[in-house]
């Protein structure tokens, strides 16, 4: 039986269960004498999904991010995890639907998660979970369809916010759910590593100051921005500076690049401290050990490695991300898994661990069991030009532009940074990967076309002029 638009039908080991059916078997008791203590049965595992915007896979280490490193070492860690596209909107649509970008079709401000795409929140809500989200980016506004399935969906402030505020609102939602004897699914989105860190009183400056001599001075200077260009209104900060840097790359010295990297690392460090605080809150409530917790990111960041700044190109610095899964009760903790993974795998993996399925096709796979649609090929796409793809297996990575018909090839065993194009030396490998990419792309586009032919098109509200203005201010909307 198919799904009705906007509803999920969830099946477990004991058949199809409604919200009321699950609620009848959940055991959620407040411990005597402590209002923050929470006990669950095996059938009521709390689920927490944490997305850290713009967190590169190589930005986590034992000294700079001790709290994240501790979690990584306690969790199942996927050593080859990649985003499908370095864009907050598209990547989160993939994370929360289990569909690759070409299958869900959400690539810009005009797109929405369609009525036929069951979200993770809808699936868990139908299984009896109490669902709540706290997000900190305009690209995750509910008008894009992200709010579907969530009982509460809080967008904290405008643009960037402190991690502490996301945690505070998230913990308040958890306490409300626990107080009502419900089992929580919580989605938390943090923005501290993103380049807009001067907005709304945040700690870190991540932009350049103007200098009359060469148009660019110390990037870490406080309180000033990139110089205004002719015809523009004033200076542009943060993300605007990185976009400006793309057009003035020759003016940016290696020292200035390092300063930008240092500012980025400082933002990651700010989140790491807040993550330690979040852990403490969950431990105090007795939720940490019992919960199924996923920590990941939507994409990485570029610092000129391939001639550009800000996340856009499907190279390793933009696509490689952390993906860590802590199972309830410490099961299989601290295990590193050399398996290739993508954001589309998050939803089927979570549902698989809970013994749940949804009655519709996903392009991701259950990383801890189950299978995938078609052959396993890791795909990436350019944020601004989705027809520019990357396709990689364990050794080789192909970059192919379907508009101009041009390919590049990298040997990842000897060139992890993807700096030397060896396509001319390996034409057979190029042909094989291109053939696999073409087949996979056709599968994804066919899946999207089938859904649209069934009348399950876009669903969502139109963005307000003010929302569009804020996105334009970030340099993402033409």
pLDDT digits (tens, 9 = 90+) for 322-373: 999 999 988 888 888 988 999 999 999 999 999 998 878 899 999 998 555 5
User: What does the block give as tokens for 166?
Assistant: 């996301």
CA distance 125 to 122: 5
Let me know: does 81 contact 424? Beta carbons within 8 Å. no
CA distance 335 to 325: 10
Q: Cα Rg for the chain, rounded, in angstroms?
A: 22
What pLDDT score does 450 carry?
64
Predicted pLDDT at 472: 59
Smallest CA-to-CA distance from 165 within 312, 79, 278 is with 278
Please list, residue by residue across 278-305, b when 16 or more beta carbons sit within 10 angstroms of its beta carbon and e when fewer do: bbebbeebbbbebbbbbbbbbbbbbbbb
User: What Cα–Cα distance (Å) separates residue 53 from each residue in 86, 136, 250?
Assistant: 10, 9, 28
pLDDT of residue 103: 96
Percent of the chain at pLDDT exceeding 70 = 72
pLDDT at 73: 94
**Phi, psi dihedrals of residue 357, rounded to the nearest 5°:** -135, 160
Say if residues 388 and 382 touch (Cβ distance below 8 Å): yes
- Report which of residues 136 and 420 the model is more confident about: 420
Confidence band (pLDDT; 50, 70, 90) for 164? confident
Predicted confidence at residue 370, as pLDDT, reads 59
**Best CA proximity match to 194, nearest among 175, 207, 181:** 207
3-state SS, residue 400: strand
In what order do the strands lie in the sheet containing 336-342? 152-155, 130-135, 184-190, 47-52, 292-296, 323-326, 76-82, 336-342
pLDDT band at 308 (very low <50, low <70, confident <90, very high): confident
Residue-wise pLDDT tens digits, 8-31: 345 543 333 333 333 332 323 222
Residue owning tokens 């932009």: 207
DSSP string spanning 312-373? Answer: -S-SHHHHB--EEEEPGGGTTTT-EEEEEEEGGGHHHHHHHHTT-EESS--SS--TTSS--S
At 461, the pLDDT band (50, 70, 90 cuts) reads low
- Identify which of 213, 239, 242, 208 has the alpha carbon closest to the alpha carbon of residue 226: 208
The string of pLDDT tens digits covering residues 66-90 is 999 999 999 999 989 999 999 999 9
What's the pLDDT tens digit per position in 315-330?
Answer: 999 999 999 999 998 8
What is the per-residue pLDDT across 218-244, written as a single tens digit (0 to 9) for each?
A: 444 433 334 444 444 433 455 666 777
The Cα–Cα gap between 90 and 87 comes to 6
385 pLDDT higher than 60: yes
Number of residues that make up the chain: 478
pLDDT for 156 equals 85
Instruction: Check if the beta carbon of residue 116 is closer than 8 Å to that of residue 358.
Output: no
Mean pLDDT of the chain: 79
Do 155 and 146 form a contact (C-beta atoms < 8 A)? no
Rounded to an integer, what distance in angstroms lies between the CA atom of residue 298 and that of residue 75? 19
End-to-end C-alpha distance for the chain, whole angstroms: 42
pLDDT band for position 153 (cuts 50, 70, 90): very high
User: For position 119, what pLDDT does the model report?
Assistant: 96
Domains, the chain: 43-199+255-473 (3.40.720.10)
């Amino acid at each position: 039986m198919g799904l009705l638009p906007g509803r999920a039908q969830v099946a477990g080991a004991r058949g199809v269960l409604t919200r009321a059916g699950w609620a009848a078997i959940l055991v959620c008791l407040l411990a005597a004498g402590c209002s923050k203590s929470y006990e669950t049965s095996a059938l009521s595992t709390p689920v927490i999904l944490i997305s850290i915007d713009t967190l590169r896979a190589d930005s986590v280490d034992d000294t700079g991010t001790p709290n994240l490193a501790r979690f990584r070492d306690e969790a199942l860690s996927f050593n080859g995890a990649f985003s499908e596209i370095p864009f907050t909107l598209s990547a989160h649509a993939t994370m929360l639907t289990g569909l690759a970008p070409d299958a869900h079709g959400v690539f810009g401000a005009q797109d929405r998660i369609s009525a036929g795409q069951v979200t993770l929140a809808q699936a868990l809500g139908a299984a009896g979970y109490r669902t709540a989200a706290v997000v900190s980016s305009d690209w995750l506004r509910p008008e894009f369809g992200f709010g579907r399935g969530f009982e509460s969906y809080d967008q904290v402030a405008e643009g960037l916010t402190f991690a502490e505020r996301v945690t505070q609102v998230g913990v308040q939602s958890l306490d409300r759910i626990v107080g009502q004897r419900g089992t929580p699914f919580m989605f938390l989105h943090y923005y501290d590593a993103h380049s807009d860190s001067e907005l709304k009183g945040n700690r870190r400056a991540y932009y350049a100051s103007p200098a009359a001599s060469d148009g660019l001075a110390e990037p870490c200077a406080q309180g000033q921005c990139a110089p205004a260009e002719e015809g523009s209104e004033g200076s542009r900060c943060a993300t605007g500076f990185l976009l400006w840097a793309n057009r003035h790359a020759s003016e940016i010295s290696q020292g200035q690049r390092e300063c930008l990297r240092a500012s980025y690392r400082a933002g990651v460090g700010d989140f790491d401290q807040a993550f330690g605080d979040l852990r403490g809150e969950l431990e105090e409530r007795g939720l940490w050990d019992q919960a199924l917790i996923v920590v990941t990111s939507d994409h990485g960041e570029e610092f000129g490695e391939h001639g550009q700044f800000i996340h856009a190109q499907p190279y390793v610095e933009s696509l490689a991300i952390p993906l860590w899964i802590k199972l309830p009760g410490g099961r299989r903790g601290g295990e590193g898994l050399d398996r290739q993974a993508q954001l589309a795998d998050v939803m089927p993996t979570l549902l698989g661990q809970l013994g749940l399925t949804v009655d519709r096709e996903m392009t991701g796979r259950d990383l801890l069991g189950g299978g995938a649609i078609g052959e396993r090929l890791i795909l990436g796409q350019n944020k601004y030009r989705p027809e520019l793809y990357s396709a990689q297996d364990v050794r080789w990575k192909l970059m192919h532009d379907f508009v101009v018909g041009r390919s590049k090839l990298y040997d990842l065993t000897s060139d992890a940074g993807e700096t030397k194009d060896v396509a001319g030396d390996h034409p057979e490998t190029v042909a094989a990967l291109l053939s696999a990419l073409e087949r996979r792309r056709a599968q994804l586009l066919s899946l999207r076309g089938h859904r649209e032919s069934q009348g399950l098109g876009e669903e969502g509200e139109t963005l307000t002029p003010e929302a569009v203005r804020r996105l334009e201010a970030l340099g993402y909307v033409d």
